[in-house]
Amino acid sequence: MSGTRMIVTFLFGAGLCLAQAERPELAAFPFKVPVESAGTYTASAIGTDFVLTGTITGDITIQADETCRITLSDATVDGVLGVSGGAQLWLVGKNTISTTNTSAIAVAGTLTVGGTGTLAATAYPTAKTGVIGTKGFVLAGGETTLTVASTEKNACGIYDAGDYTQFAGTLTITATATTAEKQNGIFLPKKDSACTISGGRLSVTVTGEKSVCVNLDKETATMTLAGGAVELTVAGDGAKGIKGDGTFTMSDGILNASVSGDTMIEPYADGNGSNYVVSVTSTTYFSRSGTYIVQDTSPAYAVKCGNIAISGGTVRVNATGVAARGLCADGPSGTFEISGGLFDVTCNGASSDTILGILDETALTTAIDKATASGLRTSGTNSVMAITGGILNITANGAGGKCIVCKNELVIGRDGQPTLPTDTAFHPDIQTSTYGTRTYVAKAKQSSYKSIGTARIADLSSGTYYTAAGYIQNGSGENADYTNPKCIKAEGNLTMHGGRIRGFSQAEGGEGFESKRILTINGGLFEATCYDDCINAAAGLVINGGHLYCGSTNNDAIDSNGSGTSSIVINGGVILAFTAKTPEIGIDTDASNGLKINGGTVVAFGSAAGNMVIGSSGSLATYKTTNANASTYAGKYLTLSGTVNGASRTVYVKVPSISSTSASISLICTTDGWTTSKTPGTATSPSGTPIGFHGVYFK
């Protein structure tokens, strides 16, 4: 009996080999159902394993109640591949699927793509359909290219009503029809959906107004990048690389984003309720009479999500459009947390102007909305940004451009984190540079104002754009309303615990480190060379420690606009503040006697001219003068000597270049060793131990 079984098995195998000899391309798949022509195939009748090969013209429908396995082996399909259940798609060789229908691949369940071959698919999706339509997409291998040939709004590369998961393989999506708008690379419309990438490569290019590479449509949708490479190319006005109200999390991998879209004016129907229609009967300020609509601006972003958390990986962004931006946590109470990673973000876009309100045809009721480029930002009034780690190189080049902006509270470094100049690594390490110029803001009233440019207005009926010429600047000279280029800005409190921050600006108004409320420095290294203020606090500045070098070429080095006798309080640290501009000084408070020094080593130079306040109070004795001879200190070391814990100590501070060595300067200096006010000395060379910070020695 056993011998008979062996013969039967042998004969069956031989018969199968003879049958496959007639179709040698199927020989590698002896247990799969061959699909040789268009039509409907029922998995329950013929099995769940299929192989498509050769040229097939027409639609292929596979009816399956369970997940079926489909192999594409050098297949050319001129039609739609549709599956009523789930599907595992295995790629062998080179494959193409092209159709003039809405989808090239439509799977009612989850679609998994793997293998070692390639697939190029082209289709003409309608609104909220994709070249691939599925209820869950998994990329496990192969190289897949999707082309959105449609120009319809909200056409997609992948319309995924489930979760998107990628741990291997390459996916390239292009939606580049020049007349399209709101096209999407990957669109996740389902609540609580997740886009998770841990390996492989995802490359998405979109062109067209408000188009999105990865669109997380629902508030609870999230995206996680834990490995692999994501490459996004955004070339549409108001377009986004990654967009959603949920959270974007990155722990590893590479995110490269190229943004060339300009700011666009939001269509009225998509506005936030603050937009309204006005009637213009005169062409005094507008190119024609008629009905206009007042709208919000929508800049292009690399990433705009409700919350952002990045702990590792590499982020590279190059944004060149008008007011184009890098990464933004956009939720009303959004959080932007950076605890690690490498960032290289450049924003080159100029500022944009959009009229937000019109009283009649001759005057504006509200200010021009001045949208400016920025690298990292939050936009919610209750938002929080925390940068506790990572290496960040952020550059902003456009008018009014800002490297880092937080609309509420910003924290840098960790509480209690020690940072010394001699450290070999800094957490975080932030380099910010802004090369943009000051840009002015328009105002409602017409009287006594001058024209500063043009702004775009949209026509409600046709949707086309017109130019409103001659809108008006609010004030003139120093009293004009403007927005400045800044390295780091917080609308709320700004606190620095540790790490290193370096800032540079070179044009008018360019500021370094600014808080519109209380600015507190507990430690870390801060180094800034700026055209304007290096540090500016609207309500008060507190320095408890750290090492600060502030060099301004045209304004105060450190400035606080807080009122009372605690406008600036220094309790410790090494603070060096210098300016070369008349009549500015190194440390400026608006309040008389508003500077308190209770500890630390402080040296500040400035101009002797003008009426700047240099009053000082506090427990530490302070030397101050408005008529020091500049030539006494130029090119030398200023020395401060005192006694600390019974031992004598001398501090040597290298004096930077002073604009006029023959003029008088204002000078504030003190050190922890001083119990009474003393006149500082000078030395041609230092002695003692260098601390590794701008020519400071302790002996």
Token digits of residue 636: 């030398």
What is the residue-wise DSSP string for 528-592? EEESS-SEEESSEEEE-S-EEEEEESSS-SEEE---STTSEEE-SSEEEEEE-STT--SEEESST
| CB 137, CB 190: distance < 8 Å | no
272 has a pLDDT exceeding 50: no
pLDDT 10s digits, 150-160: 999 999 999 99
Closest CA to 494 of 551, 536, 434, 555: 536
Q: What is the pLDDT of residues 565-590, one digit of tens each?
A: 778 999 999 999 998 777 778 898 87
Task: Name residue, tokens 């009233």.
Answer: 445
Burial class (CB within 10 angstroms; exposed 0-12, middle 13-18, buried 19+) of 238: buried
Which pLDDT band holds residue 392 (cuts at 50, 70, 90)? very high
Share of the chain above pLDDT 70, in %: 80
The listed range with the strongest mean pLDDT (23-37, 157-171, 313-327, 599-613) is 157-171
Q: What is the pLDDT of residue 684?
A: 93
Closest among 307, 213, 318, 179 to 260, alpha carbons compared:
318
Q: Give the pLDDT score at 296.
A: 53
| Confidence (pLDDT) at 482 | 65
pLDDT digits (tens, 9 = 90+) for 400-425: 889 999 999 999 999 988 899 999 99
Above 50 in pLDDT, residue 455?
no
594-651, pLDDT tens digit by residue?
Answer: 899 999 999 998 886 654 556 677 888 889 888 888 888 888 999 999 888 888 899 9
CA nearest neighbour of 511 among 566, 455, 559, 476: 559
Statement: residue 681 has pLDDT above 50: yes
pLDDT averaged over every residue in the chain: 83
Identify whether the C-beta of residue 188 lies closer than 8 Å to the C-beta of residue 160.
yes
Question: Would you say 262 and 237 are in contact if contact means Cβ atoms under 8 Å apart?
Answer: yes
- Under 8 Å between Cβ of 312 and 283: no
Q: Report the pLDDT averaged over residues 284-294.
A: 48
Q: What is the mean pLDDT of residues 58-76?
A: 94
Instruction: Give the pLDDT band (50/70/90) at residue 360.
Output: very low
Q: Which residues, 6+ apart, have CB-to-CB distance to 682 below 8 Å?
A: 632, 633, 636, 637, 638, 639
Residue 491, pLDDT above cutoff 80: yes
Residue 697 has a pLDDT of 97
Rounded-to-integer distance, Cα 496 and Cα 499, Å: 8
Residue 590: its pLDDT value, please? 76
Q: In angstroms, rounded to a whole number, what is the distance separating the alpha carbons of residues 463 and 209?
A: 13
* Residue type, position 349, single letter: G
- The whole-number average pLDDT for the span 272-299 is 50
Q: Distance between terminal CA atoms of the chain? A: 101
Provide the residue type at 438 as one letter. Answer: R
pLDDT at 428: 98
The region of weakest confidence among 108-122, 536-550, 630-644 is: 630-644
Q: How far apart are CA 73 and CA 81, in angstroms?
A: 14
Q: How far apart are CA 612 and CA 587, in angstroms?
A: 9
> What is the Cα–Cα distance from 343 to 255, expressed in whole angstroms?
10
Binning pLDDT at 50, 70 and 90, where does residue 292 land?
A: very low
Residue 527: pLDDT band (50, 70, 90) is very high
Yes or no: say if 614 and 592 are a contact pair by the CB < 8 Å rule: no
Strands 647-654 and 696-698: antiparallel
